[in-house]
Amino acid sequence: MSTDVLAPDEVRAALRDYFSDHPGLAETRRLRDGDHAVAEAGFDRARWSDLAGEVGLAAMGAPAEADGLGLGLEHLVAALEECGTTLYPGPARAAALLAWSSGLTADRSDRLGEAVTRLVEGAAVPAFAQFEGAGRDSLELSADGLLRGRVRGVTHATAADLLLAVAGAPDGPRVVVADLGAGGVRRALSRGVDFAGVTGELELGGVPATALTEPGDTAAVARFDTAARILLAAEQVGGAEGCLRESVSYALVRTQFGRLIGGYQAVQHRCARTAVAVASAKALVSAAARAVDDDEDSARMLGLLAKAEASDVFQEAADGLVQVCGGIGFTWEHDAHLFFRKARSTAVLGGTSARLRHQAVEDGCLNLIRPATT
């Protein structure tokens, strides 16, 4: 199916309908409360299989040869925004990135085809070793296609069947997908502040892996990094929108001094500022995704700026949610701290906002806004 047939807004609407019946926040609350049925994996496996296979989240970015839809990054951004809005704790981002990354190579090996097919069917749990320093400095791909090393900060490491990472190789870094079910894997769960983003550590002792980029193709690795950054930004923008919805909903029912708090200008202005910031960040993330889809030179710069803006906006929106809710917003039982935790934990992934903007300036992002000289 071409991207002209299915618009990003249709993807967004489909995921919104699904989460209206199966809210991701319900799973995240179970993690908060220590529900053993979901605690180790970090999500509900049955629900993930349904979302990935029946709803088709994993198929969106996968190529047609693997029964995928072959949609672009802009469509995946729409899907991840909805996952972020409801704080869905499952491996949606890793699945979207793996499906999209399988299109980086024209080599359709049986091993890769089987991995993507399992993913599309909802029969595999993907994991992702996140960003610079989380993989390529500690994972090595040998000439015989075996992956060795130790990597931390891996999403859903204890439950994963497939690992997506960038690994060092004799001919330079390469994007790889490894089959964790083949043995030679040691797993350890990491305890972090984010209930909706369980991570862990993997130690690989010669695991079969398939390279998704050609030897020495640093441009493809950079494109992968940009796509990963944009998909995380999409989750963050969705989280910020979730905070805004929660804030407005509470302001329309909570009364103080005989009137709804939504009638006070201070609350109105706080929500209005968040709404404007969310809309701006969402537009920037979408622009970055389109730049990747169109293979534009500005894609990396826009990706850096999108992640920086999404991090700041999500933190601001989470702060606003706590403040609008007042005393109850500080309690363990309220959802506000779940958004707050997600905002803080994702803000540092891939670099701080200041660092990302500095990198974008070094790459020449100011030329995007300067008038052309004649």
Judge whether residue 3 has pLDDT over 50: no
Which residues, including other chains, have CB under 8 Å from residue 163's CB and lie 6 or more apart?
Answer: 126, 127, 128, 129, 147, 154, 177, 178, 180, 202, 204, 207
pLDDT in tens, 41-67: 999 999 999 999 999 999 999 988 888
Burial code (b: 16+ CB inside 10 Å, e: under 16) for 164-186 equals: bbbbbbeeebbbbbbbbeeeebe
| pLDDT band at 374; cut points 50, 70, 90 | very low
**Contact call for residues 320 and 271 (beta carbons, < 8 A):** yes
pTM score: 0.94
What is the tens place of the pLDDT at every residue in 250-279?
Answer: 999 999 999 999 999 999 999 999 999 999
Contact present, 285 and 310 (Cβ < 8 Å): yes
How big is the chain, counted in residues?
A: 374
Report pLDDT digits (tens) over 7-18: 999 999 999 999
Do residues 212 and 101 lie in contact, with contact meaning Cβ atoms separated by under 8 Å? yes
The answer to whether 145 and 177 have CB atoms below 8 angstroms apart is no
pLDDT per position as a tens digit, 226-248: 999 999 999 999 999 999 999 99
Report how far apart, in Å, the C-alpha atoms of 119 and of each of 32, 126, 160, 234, 285 are.
27, 8, 11, 21, 25
Cβ pair 226, 292 in contact under 8 A: yes
Cα(19)–Cα(68) distance, integer angstroms = 22
CA 348 to chain centre: 13
- Please name which of 261, 367, 354 lies closest in space to residue 305, comparing C-alpha atoms: 354
Residues 168, 166: Cα–Cα separation, whole Å: 7
CATH topology for 8-211 is Butyryl-CoA Dehydrogenase, subunit A; domain 2 (2.40.110)
Whole-angstrom Cα distance, residue 103 to residue 64? 10
| Average predicted confidence (pLDDT) for the chain | 92
Q: Is 159 in contact with 40 (CB distance < 8 Å)?
A: yes
What is the CATH number assigned to the segment(s) 218-368? 1.20.140.10
The structural domains of the chain, with segments of one domain joined by +, span 8-211, 218-368
Q: Would you say residue 370 has pLDDT above 90?
A: no
